[in-house]
Amino acid sequence: MSRLPATQTPTEVTVDVGPLTPAEVIAVARHGAGVRLSEAAAEGITATRRIIEDLASDTQPHYGISTGFGALATTSIPSEKRAQLQRSLIRSHAAGSGPEVEREVVRALMLLRLSTLATGRTGVRLETAQVYADLLTAGITPVVREHGSLGCSGDLAPLAHCALAVMGEGEVRDAEGTLLSAADALAAAGITPVELAEKEGLALINGTDGMLGMLLMALHDLDTLLTTADIAAAMSVEGQLGTDDVFAADLHELRPHPGQGASAANLRRIMADSGIRESHRTEACTRVQDAYSLRCSPQVHGSARDTCDHAALVAGRELAAAIDNPVVTLDGRVESNGNFHGAPVAHVLDFLAIVVADVASIAERRTDRFLDIARNHGLPPFLADDPGTDSGHMIAQYTQAAIVAELKRLATPASVDSIPSSAMQEDHVSMGWGAARKLRRSVDGLARVLAVEILTAARALDLRAPLTPAPATAAVVKLLRDNGIQGPGPDRYLSPEIEATVELVLDGQVRAAAESSTGPLL
């Protein structure tokens, strides 16, 4: 799955006691930036470890140190078996199944777990935290399976697969993507596997790191995709002889949602100086108002933007969190808690899937209007060169429709579908991992729907010649043509043109082309 680039990607990210930034997570997850622990983080980890070591020989039970886990929390573990307890925990919890999870997701997962370890609230040893940094820097990625996390008690199975690699067990992929045993990969990189001590196994798997990493990457992608949706909408409004009067600032100030105002501002700037628009700004144009899919684009896109802002607020709080159970408090207590529950992240992941589906839905409706001679204001049926002999973009819209239908199914919330586990000790779970997995598919689907709209709108703008489009939309059309995506003409093999446009959308080139005329868009 192609993803959008980070800006000014650092070659190394320092994990400190403070929260990582979203850009740092993207740099490590997607662009292979190395990782090092700060001195302050190392000192905090070392200081907190002493508290755990003092409790290791205590006759009083301490969860995860001298007891079993989950429903076995009342089972006392003798001191000579407590290190084995941690190793057994990781081995038994590395129980994922299904396809491999993407490299970028696993790297984000490991980095965010390391970030929590660096807060000094988990009680791990410094050498254990250091191996996470070493694996990330060496480009060694544990094999994590698609299925296994309920998003409560942390992303247990995915994190356990990572911890298993830290122990020198299980499978990994090296920096070139070659599948190796973890033992061989660590040896080749000069990394010594960790022999887990008291509390460490639990600390390595009790976090919401997988779902948070996927949330951060989705937000990064949507930042460009929602602006690209405004570009696509502007091209459709222009190509269908619609009006930009409805995007006037004073109209949107009457309903002061920030995202709506930003989207409308983008539409105004993208459509500025359009010869096509000016051609029908006359008394001969009798249309009173455009269809909802054209006229209401800022309202739909804007609501998605505001949802992203809320999700980013939640993500920022999670980045500042130290999630473990039990946790070592600032005053040195070791306390059980429920901060591992993924509900806050799961809820916004589901919310984002809903708005992604809706943005894709309105884009598909705008595209469909181009193809219908009853609604496209003088364009040929399906934008075909020789209608009847040629089908034009008829089936491109089918592709959009199929994706939109899938996005609607993916918008069904995962977070309301709790299934009890661990003999009813863990009787309400978040399903946040599942929410994150389906959001990744949703974001990819949105990019594909927008690509078909842009491809179709560009063809329509060419068919409006000799009328000239706005400079910004003309720049997008030129981008397509410069990348071998042809204009109007007889039917041809369309799938490669769709895929090429998808890449131009995903890597931000469509946005950059429009901004070459408008300046930075919102």
Cα–Cα distance measured from residue 522 to residue 156, given in angstroms and rounded to the nearest whole number: 38
Neighbours of 34 (CB within 10 A): 17
Cα–Cα distance measured from residue 129 to residue 126, given in angstroms and rounded to the nearest whole number: 5
Q: Which tokens go with 286?
A: 């009798």
Q: Which domains does the chain have, with CATH numbers?
A: 12-207 (1.10.275.10), 215-319+357-518 (1.20.200.10)
pLDDT for residue 54: 82
pLDDT tens-place values along the chain, 522 residues long: 334 444 557 789 999 988 999 999 999 999 999 999 999 999 999 999 998 888 766 667 666 676 666 656 666 667 677 778 888 999 999 999 999 999 999 999 999 999 999 999 999 999 999 999 999 999 999 999 999 999 988 899 999 999 999 999 999 999 999 999 999 999 999 999 999 998 899 999 999 999 999 999 999 999 999 999 999 999 999 999 999 999 999 999 999 999 999 999 999 999 999 999 999 887 777 677 999 999 999 999 999 999 999 999 999 999 999 999 889 999 989 898 999 999 999 999 999 999 999 999 999 999 999 999 999 999 999 999 999 999 999 999 999 999 999 999 999 999 999 888 887 878 889 999 999 999 999 999 999 999 999 999 999 999 999 999 999 999 999 999 999 999 999 999 999 999 999 999 999 999 999 999 999 999
Nearest Cα residue to 353 out of 314, 406, 399: 406
Residue 99 φ then ψ, to 5°: -60, 160
Cα–Cα distance measured from residue 359 to residue 348, given in angstroms and rounded to the nearest whole number: 16
pLDDT for residue 198: 86
How far is residue 462 CA from its own chain's centroid? 34
Nearest Cα residue to 63 out of 160, 195, 199, 196: 199
pLDDT for residue 67: 66
Alpha helices in 240-273 (DSSP H): 249-253, 258-271
Indicate the pTM of the whole model: 0.94
Nearest Cα residue to 474 out of 516, 520, 502, 507: 516
pLDDT for residue 285: 72
For the stretch 308-321, what's the b/e string if a residue is b when 16 or more beta carbons lie within 10 angstroms of its beta carbon? beebbebbeebbeb
pLDDT for residue 471: 98
- Which residues lie closer than 8 Å to 217 by C-beta, 6 or more apart? 3, 25, 26, 29, 30, 104, 105, 108, 440
Helix, strand, coil percent content, the chain, rounded in steps of 5: 55, 5, 35
Cα–Cα distance measured from residue 36 to residue 118, given in angstroms and rounded to the nearest whole number: 11
Cα–Cα distance measured from residue 265 to residue 479, given in angstroms and rounded to the nearest whole number: 23
The catalytic residue positions are 63
Strand partners, 13: 35
pLDDT for residue 86: 86
Cα–Cα distance measured from residue 47 to residue 124, given in angstroms and rounded to the nearest whole number: 10
The helix-helix angle for 471-482 and 509-518 (nearest 10°) equals 140
Cα–Cα distance measured from residue 104 to residue 31, given in angstroms and rounded to the nearest whole number: 8
Burial class (CB in 10 A: 0-12, 13-18, 19+), 214: buried
Rg of the Cα atoms in the chain: 26
Cα–Cα distance measured from residue 451 to residue 494, given in angstroms and rounded to the nearest whole number: 12
Residue 485 φ then ψ, to 5°: -95, 110
Which run of H or of E encompasses 66?
none
Q: Which residue is listed with tokens 């084995």?
A: 84
Cα–Cα distance measured from residue 159 to residue 137, given in angstroms and rounded to the nearest whole number: 18
Q: Which tokens go with 105?
A: 């997701």
Cα–Cα distance measured from residue 8 to residue 81, given in angstroms and rounded to the nearest whole number: 48
pLDDT for residue 422: 80
Q: Which residue is listed with tokens 């990493």?
A: 213
pLDDT for residue 81: 74
Nearest Cα residue to 220 out of 321, 108, 103, 317: 108
Reply yes or no: is the peptide bond before residue 158 cis, omega within 30 of 0.
no
pLDDT for residue 53: 85
